[in-house]
């Protein structure tokens, strides 16, 4: 067994080695995604919200998403509001939002250092390195999406609740819980955890926590209602009222998680540490909010993952909560010396990291690469030139491809998030289909954008929402431009669209 001083040196060496390993994976991913001047997929609706706030357009009005222009954004607006206030890059409108998320993800990981305390900072650095090597975290560190901001607020809310020695700290915790939900509606775990913590462990400060949370939450809710109107809440509640469950994708997402040795090891370590702490009755570790935070975060976000359209980025918060619990549980252990159990754990960790770094599939942790970006931009430029030569670089357009199209080409687009309409609103709110089919049949659009593989409507059922739409498209429009990424259809005749 090494002495405590020698053990500390070994841990610091290991921490910096793991951090360097994490940066070798994370650095190129972040650089590639920050540089990509296009929607990495599903960023587009978020950018539409940012741009709507800049223009003063009410994207949360039901007339916006249940009728033309069919722009849907079911996300709480705090993240988008902050991004809208910041300077933008004309050559890459996605850059500011991605940079904002990157800062927030680093801030979220910094909560590990605060939770670990000065005596266990090497372990906190190891946990931070592990955090950024989990694939959903790696791929979403520089992504125009609100999860990073929500995770940062949530993690620091729990840390503030635990560390506070005053009513002001409890108020801060309440405010941070409210901000987490304002960044993304599903980030309720921190608020529930902190409420339980103050109710059980710090009852004298519970009123201060409630005051901070309720005042902050009410202020944000009233401000949103005053600016967007009461219809704002229809967009906010659509994930609860309209989203069906998708268990096939749910199990697919978990399969994607369990093929990651590092993720499996984190769960095994958390379960082992929880068992040891519980059996040995180490009250110092149990008398913190972090075990409850881990369990509640996993329960809530696992439920979120059953919803249609959910992705593994929904697991960022429970992953961080698990690492927080591990760091805090170890913080309350006796003097740390590298005996065989800790040596085994570090060896397993190094092995899992090495296996992750040997992963041969960049698409499993990165949305793009420099080569993919170059190919995409070249194909987009070719299509832009072809459309401009035919005068199709402006005017009314219909997007039936994906969220990228709206930000790739000129024109007044309808449908900003095709996935949302195909899987949710065209099924739950059929009036949206009727309105769109009517617009297609009256040839309202100068151009209709579809996937490069869509060349006919013969294989589509005429009774389904998508089938009705695509049959109307090919009845009134013809394939005019065929590109590597997208096809464009134009009217069959020269008649102008009906008024």
Judge if 356 and 396 occupy the same domain: no
- List pLDDT tens digits, range 288-345: 999 999 999 999 999 999 999 899 999 999 999 999 999 999 876 665 555 667 778 8
pLDDT of residue 4: 62
How far is the C-alpha of 179 from the C-alpha of 177, rounded, in Å? 5
pTM: 0.94
Residue 89 falls within a domain, yes or no? yes
Judge if 345 and 425 occupy the same domain: no
Number of folded domains that form the chain: 2
Residue 49 falls within a domain, yes or no? no
Q: Which of 340, 364, 388 is the last residue of a domain?
A: 364
Judge if 400 and 289 occupy the same domain: no
**pLDDT band per the 50, 70, 90 thresholds, residue 497:** very low
Strand partners, 357: none
Judge if 278 and 422 occupy the same domain: no
Residue 356 falls within a domain, yes or no? yes
Q: Which of 342, 364, 386 is the last residue of a domain?
A: 364
Judge if 285 and 317 occupy the same domain: yes
- List pLDDT tens digits, range 368-405: 999 999 999 999 999 999 999 999 999 999 999 999 99
How far is the C-alpha of 232 from the C-alpha of 213, rounded, in Å? 21
Residue 339 falls within a domain, yes or no? yes
How far does CA 131 lie from the centroid of its chain? 15
Q: Which of 302, 331, 364 is the last residue of a domain?
A: 364
**1 pLDDT more than 60:** no
Contact 46, 80 (CB under 8 A): yes
Judge if 356 and 412 occupy the same domain: no
How far does CA 241 lie from the centroid of its chain? 20
Contact 328, 290 (CB under 8 A): yes
**Element counts in the chain: helices (H) and strands (E):** 24, 5
Residue 66 falls within a domain, yes or no? no
Q: Which residues form the domain of 100?
A: 4-35+74-364
Residue 485 falls within a domain, yes or no? yes
**251 pLDDT more than 80:** yes
Q: What is the DSSP letter of 120?
A: G
Judge if 357 and 387 occupy the same domain: no
Judge if 86 and 21 occupy the same domain: yes
Judge if 207 and 240 occupy the same domain: yes
């Amino acid at each position: 067994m090494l002495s405590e001083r020698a053990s500390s040196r070994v841990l610091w060496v290991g921490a910096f080695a793991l951090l360097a390993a994490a940066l070798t994976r994370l650095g190129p991913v972040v650089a590639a995604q920050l540089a990509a001047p296009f929607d990495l997929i599903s960023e587009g609706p978020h950018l539409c919200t940012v741009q709507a706030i800049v223009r003063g357009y009410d994207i949360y009005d039901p007339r916006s998403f249940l009728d033309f222009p069919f722009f849907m954004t079911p996300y709480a607006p705090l993240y988008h509001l902050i991004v809208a206030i910041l300077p933008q890059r004309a050559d890459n409108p996605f850059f500011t939002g991605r940079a904002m998320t990157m800062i927030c993800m680093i801030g979220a990981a910094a909560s590990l250092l605060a939770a670990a305390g000065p005596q266990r900072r090497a372990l906190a650095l190891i946990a931070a390195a592990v955090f950024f090597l989990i694939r959903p975290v790696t791929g979403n560190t520089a992504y125009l999406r609100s999860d990073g901001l929500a995770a940062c607020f949530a993690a620091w809310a729990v840390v503030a609740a635990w560390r506070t020695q005053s009513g002001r700290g409890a108020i801060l915790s309440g405010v941070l819980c409210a901000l987490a939900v304002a960044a993304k509606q599903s980030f309720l775990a921190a608020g529930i955890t902190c409420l339980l913590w103050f109710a059980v462990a710090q009852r004298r400060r519970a009123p201060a926590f409630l005051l901070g949370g309720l005042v902050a939450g009410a202020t944000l809710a009233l401000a949103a209602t005053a600016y967007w109107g009461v219809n704002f809440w229809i967009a906010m509640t659509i994930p609860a009222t309209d989203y069906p469950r998708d268990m096939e994708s749910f199990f697919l997402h978990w399969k994607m998680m369990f093929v990651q040795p590092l993720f499996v090891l984190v769960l095994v370590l958390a379960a082992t540490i929880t068992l040891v702490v519980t059996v040995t009755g180490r009250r110092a570790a149990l008398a913190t909010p972090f075990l409850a935070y881990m369990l509640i975060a996993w329960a809530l976000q696992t439920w979120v993952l059953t919803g249609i359209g959910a992705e593994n980025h929904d697991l960022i918060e429970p992953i961080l909560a698990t690492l927080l619990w591990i760091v805090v549980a170890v913080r309350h252990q006796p003097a740390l010396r590298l005996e065989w159990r800790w040596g085994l754990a570090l060896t397993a960790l190094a092995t899992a990291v090495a296996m992750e770094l040997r992963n041969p599939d960049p698409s499993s942790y990165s949305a793009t690469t420099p080569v993919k970006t170059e190919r995409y931009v070249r194909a987009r430029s070719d299509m832009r030139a072809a459309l401009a030569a035919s005068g199709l670089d402006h005017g009314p357009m219909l997007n039936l491809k994906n969220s990228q199209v709206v930000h790739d080409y000129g024109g007044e687009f309808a449908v900003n998030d095709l996935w949302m309409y195909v899987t949710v609103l065209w099924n739950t709110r059929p009036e949206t289909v009727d309105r769109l089919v009517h617009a297609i049949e009256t040839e309202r659009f100068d151009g209709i954008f579809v996937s490069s593989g869509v060349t006919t409507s013969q294989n589509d059922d005429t009774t389904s929402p998508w089938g009705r739409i695509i049959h109307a498209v090919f009845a009134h429009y013809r394939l005019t431009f065929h590109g590597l990424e997208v096809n464009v259809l134009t009217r069959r005749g020269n008649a102008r669209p009906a008024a």
